[in-house]
Structure 1
Amino acid sequence: MDQGAIAEGRAGAAGTGPEPATVAGSRVRILTYNIRHCRGTDGRVAPERVAEVIAATGADIVALQEVDVGRARTGGLDQADEIARLLGMTPHFHPALHIEEERYGDAILTRLPSRLMRAGPLPGLVRRPGLEPRGALWVEIAVGALRLQVVTTHLGLLGAERIAQTEALLGADWLGDPACRAPTVLLGDFNATSWTRAYHRLTRRLTDARRIAGRNEGRRGGASFPSRFPLLRLDRVFVGEGLTVERLAVVDGPLPRRASDHLPVFADIRLDDR
């Protein structure tokens, strides 16, 4: 794997910028990663390769998108369970798509104490019934004596679709639920650049972690898609009150560029214990 140093918010996958992260007091490393059902840019399905990329980052909490469970195209494997097993973590999974025994959706993995708070669908467009179904997953995670609310999602490809889904996420069932009290992190593949309406709607309530990290470190996180030649920032971390983002970086290098068509993005976060 690449042994280069961090530059412009980009980190190598092993032995580079991401020093192994352990929960120290109220600090935690959280990562989001669209794994494209573990099918790499070389066409090979390899959950162990995805797990290796994640393990090298030392992440404590991992949000995954495009996870296959029991699907014929990936050998019927429960990818959420297998990746969690390889990492020594506990998986939480929500299938946005469920056809007979085949499931496909989002997961949150962690080695910290956790409990599932909510898993469910997000709205599509009534006039476009054939769009891929989307969902979200909310898990409460104990970070020392504190409780962190972690919500992950993978929004749709159409602007109107993303707006409907963003409004739902900000509504009473998700971030607007009284149980989803600060501190809160929303992360995943938003299919939204910084000039889209969905992005601006989210930043009225939450803060893009890249902006805080850029202010703290004098640099900004880089693009994560497509992995072979990253151009777009689609994979994002948003934070609420009570959180400080100490660092944010895209995980880059030969292995991450093969393992999926997205690169992972991690953020080092400090919880305000006051």
Structure 2
Amino acid sequence: MQQGQIEGHAEERPEIAGDGRDRGASRRLRLLTYNVRHCRGTDGRVAPERVARVIAALSPDIIALQEVDVGRKRTGGLDQAEEIARLTGMFSHFHPALHVEEERYGDALLTHLPSRLRRAGPLPGLTRRPGLEPRGALWVEVSLGAAAIQVLTTHFGLLGAERIAQAEALLGPDWLGDPACRAPTVLLGDFNATGWSRSYRRLSARLTDARRLTGERRWRRGGASFPSRFPLLRIDHVFVSERVAVERVTVVDTPLAREASDHLPVLAEIRIDPG
């Protein structure tokens, strides 16, 4: 364990099968999507170390974070992506959807596995509403021995028309329409959209909501992750492509998670089937 790394394993993490020589084995992964609200908890305190403790207790292999501050005065100028990565023993990729002088704010992908950045960039807003918060997406390829998985994260806007434009962009040739996304692919993040919204339906026509593959008959019900103190809305989603089997999806509703952010993290346990 590296100095400063947080130790915390609430449950045993399944090992990733195969080391690159076993091409027929499936790979098991734990993925987490978490809107951390610049690490400002429901008690008003900014505490990246508290967010890191929530994450460390779950032992994820890949983490998607939204609302991450880097170099912002309101959070002490800290690089929150790097700090959380350091505390959890991971490497980080960050994309600033908002960049004002030295202050940045956006999405991050963290993993302890070999990875490389495929794309990071903005998503469209509404031309008639120029004051809307800018949004972006981040795409990283994670290596699993001889296999790989494409992992994308985003944070959609608050307006319905804005979210539809952003979903269409993600489905286009620069993102999910890229030939590389024919490989096992996961899209996860805060979509600000329930399962009945148009933007959700547009994405689920291309990828499958991971909750749908868990075997639960009432997969549309439950799974609320916002607001953390009294979860009512399921707006944090995990979508998967073919060749991605889903073993479990759960909202992490612990006392610490309820305090660390206004969203609860969503954990998905998946298996990558060999091609």
User: TM-score scaled to structure 1, two decimals?
Assistant: 0.91
Secondary structure of the structure 2 residue equivalent to 1:179: helix
Residue 267 (structure 2) aligns with: 266
**Which letter does structure 2 place at the counterpart of 1:60?**
D
Structure 1 position 21, deviation (Å): 4.2
Residue 225 (structure 1) aligns with: 226
**Which letter does structure 1 place at the counterpart of 2:33?**
T
Residue 23 (structure 2) aligns with: none
Quote the Cα distance in structure 2 between the aligned partners of 1:264 and 1:116: 23
**Which letter does structure 1 place at the counterpart of 2:132?**
L
Residue 87 (structure 1) aligns with: 88
Residue 140 (structure 1) aligns with: 141
Alpha-carbon spacing, 1:237–1:230, altered in 2? closer, same or farther (3 Å): same
Residue 155 (structure 2) aligns with: 154
Residue 33 (structure 2) aligns with: 32
Quote the Cα distance in structure 1 between the aligned partners of 2:238 and 2:221: 13
Structure 1 position 143, deviation (Å): 2.0
1:200-238 CA distances to partner (integer Å, 9 max, x unpaired)?
101110100011114499896521000000010011000
Residue 75 (structure 1) aligns with: 76
Alpha-carbon spacing, 1:21–1:43, altered in 2? closer, same or farther (3 Å): farther
Quote the Cα distance in structure 1 between the aligned partners of 2:112 and 2:274: 21
Quote the Cα distance in structure 1 between the aligned partners of 2:96 and 2:258: 26
Segments of 5+ residues of structure 2 without an aligned counterpart are: 1-7, 19-26
Contact 2:212/2:219 (8 A) holds in 1: no
Structure 1 position 180, deviation (Å): 2.3
Contact 2:17/2:28 (8 A) holds in 1: yes
Secondary structure of the structure 2 residue equivalent to 1:202: helix
In the alignment, does 2:109 pair up with 1:116?
no
Residue 4 (structure 1) aligns with: none
Secondary structure of the structure 2 residue equivalent to 1:44: coil
Residue 212 (structure 1) aligns with: 213
Residue 20 (structure 1) aligns with: 13
Quote the Cα distance in structure 1 between the aligned partners of 2:75 and 2:115: 28
Structure 1 position 46, deviation (Å): 0.4
Alpha-carbon spacing, 1:21–1:259, altered in 2? closer, same or farther (3 Å): farther
Quote the Cα distance in structure 1 between the aligned partners of 2:176 and 2:222: 25
**Which letter does structure 1 place at the counterpart of 2:165?**
A
Quote the Cα distance in structure 2 between the aligned partners of 1:252 and 1:261: 12
Secondary structure of the structure 1 residue equivalent to 2:13: coil
Quote the Cα distance in structure 1 between the aligned partners of 2:57 and 2:17: 18
Secondary structure of the structure 2 residue equivalent to 1:180: helix
Secondary structure of the structure 2 residue equivalent to 1:163: helix
Residue 22 (structure 2) aligns with: none
Contact 1:34/1:64 (8 A) holds in 2: yes
**Which letter does structure 2 place at the counterpart of 1:212?**
L
Quote the Cα distance in structure 2 between the aligned partners of 1:179 and 1:106: 21
Residue 186 (structure 1) aligns with: 187
- Count residues with an aligned counterpart: 260
Contact 1:27/1:143 (8 A) holds in 2: no
Moved over 6 A (4+): 216-220
User: TM-score scaled to structure 2, two decimals?
Assistant: 0.91
Secondary structure of the structure 2 residue equivalent to 1:57: coil
Secondary structure of the structure 1 residue equivalent to 2:181: coil
Residue 54 (structure 1) aligns with: 55
Quote the Cα distance in structure 2 between the aligned partners of 1:218 and 1:163: 23
Percent pairwise identity:
75
**Which letter does structure 1 place at the counterpart of 2:200?**
Y
